[in-house]
Structure 1
């Protein structure tokens, strides 16, 4: 089974198209899957929409936080609740393209344990992109791992990698660099 974890915070307008795109890709792969929305205390109607979807499709599951705890908390909850042997994480803002899922799976087939994406056409404003570039450069230098986008939420993990991860604060940004520092034997790809 493949689990797709999607942290959601006020992404009501993105939920329908994201679900549709993921389902289309997954049906093409002919693999059992689940889409796990983790609502981080949304106030825009996302919660109600996800509840509707959860009752209308057996492939959709959800976790709801009463207030906003942040991305690390949502990912941690999703990791713990996911059922798949392969786990994807994707942001809920439509900047991650589900059409890339087969390419990530191909990397796993090559023997990698963690595959991370990057946003090619980032839709964020300049004041968000510049600090991100600086963060990526510093993190690459410190970890010795040259990744384009540590902040990208589009990642794929084998279950055994997830078992080693406990997130809090802003640690979700550093997941790709953990194998070089914490766990030997992981193979990463971008």
Structure 2
């Protein structure tokens, strides 16, 4: 697939009908002044509200926007991966559809990416979630960092920019989106982290419970730790080739 854009923005969607148009308008306001060719790929993850209808209207109104729709709900990791496969730019950005991530942070993140990193991660220094989610996130992040030997402050922030080919090459499994920094580093990526805005939810409700996320995350963490322990890489010193 040829690179037709400079940036592909991948956004999973599950029952976010009231947030989508405002999100697209904010993305447009943030990126248009950069004179940057970009596309926005919405992945409807089996929504049961009017999200798909809204996405169809957005794709007709905004030339940069398009969508794909799953037959059934497959989860955030599957939605991200589908978007990565659809991307037509050498770098891909990700964010949530609930308007808690702020598209206005993208220009500064793109500038940091241009300094030579293959991944830039948002750090939600001031979380706008309920207290139980903030505490659970801190505990999970601390355990995750300890077992994966990481120092990432906020691996759960969906606002990220990554090298498209690298992120396509990482192992794929349910929950992999929670470990993208570690998985990208295993591909040799230079990863940088920067403070970003985090906003209260605009409309709708959170799709994840604290307990079920913790249980699933525990299984995923053991799997990623195993991947790290078995990972290998190599560099070719020279290659002997014969002329055809």
Query: Shorter-chain-normalised TM-score: which range?
Result: over 0.9
The match for 2:116 among 108, 111, 117 is 111
Q: Is the 8 A contact 2:121 2:159 kept in 1?
A: yes
Distance in 1 (CA, whole Å) between partners of 2:177 and 2:183 is: 10
Match of 2:7 in 1: 2
Q: Is the 8 A contact 1:76 1:166 kept in 2?
A: no
Match of 2:20 in 1: 15
Gaps of 5+ in 1: none
Deviation at 1:115, TM superposition (A): 0.7
Deviation at 1:80, TM superposition (A): 0.2
Q: How does 1:16-55 map to 2 (within 5 A)?
A: 16-55=21-60
Q: TM-score, normalised by structure 2?
A: 0.73
Q: How does 1:1-190 map to 2 (within 5 A)?
A: 1-180=6-185, 182-183=186-187, 185-190=188-193
Distance in 2 (CA, whole Å) between partners of 1:41 and 1:142 is: 33
Distance in 2 (CA, whole Å) between partners of 1:68 and 1:119 is: 27
Larger Rg: 2
Out of 164-173 and 88-97, give the one that drifted further. Answer: 164-173
Gaps of 5+ in 2: 1-5, 194-244
Q: Which secondary structure state, in structure 1, belongs to the residue aligned with residue 89 of structure 2?
A: coil
Q: Is the 8 A contact 2:90 2:164 kept in 1?
A: yes
Q: Which secondary structure state, in structure 2, belongs to the residue aligned with residue 43 of structure 1?
A: coil
Q: What CA deviation, in whole Å up to 9, does each residue of 1:136-181 have, x standing for no partner?
A: 001111222212211111100122322312432111100111244x
Q: Is the 8 A contact 1:95 1:122 kept in 2?
A: no
Distance in 2 (CA, whole Å) between partners of 1:89 and 1:188 is: 15
Q: Which runs of 4+ in 1 moved over 6 A?
A: none
Distance in 2 (CA, whole Å) between partners of 1:139 and 1:189 is: 18
Deviation at 1:105, TM superposition (A): 1.0
